Amino acid sequence: MKKDIHPQYYPEAKVSCACGNVFFIGSTKKELAVEICYACHPLYTGKEKLIDTAGRVEKFKTRRAAAAKTPVRKKTEKRAVKNTKKTASAEKKGK
């Protein structure tokens, strides 16, 4: 190995999570700050935890609720509406 090209390795680097959990790992940095760790990640805990940034979860839920309320039209209905709009615009141009 070449000398003086590799970063300093810290075998006991401190990792601090946003949930308050602190643990030690090997790293090239002395201290690390993470948002989510094994103690609070839903995959490991089995609990659903939504990390909401700027109300995005609520915004998504309201959009999904609004989409569920609107009736789903069949293709034939959509085509009929589209054709009536085309004929109406063609009549206006012809006058």
Contact indicator for 9, 25 with CB cutoff of 8 Å: no
Distance of CA 81 to the CA centre of its chain: 36
Structure tokens at 65: 């609720």
Return d(Cα 13, Cα 80) in angstroms, integer. Answer: 67
Domain boundaries, the chain: 10-86
- 10-86 folds as Rhinovirus 14, subunit 4 (4.10.80)
List Cα–Cα distances, 61 to 21, 28, 57, 66, 68, in angstroms. 30, 41, 6, 9, 11
**pLDDT (tens digit per residue) in 28-73:** 999 999 998 888 887 777 777 666 667 788 888 898 998 888 877 7
pLDDT at 41: 83
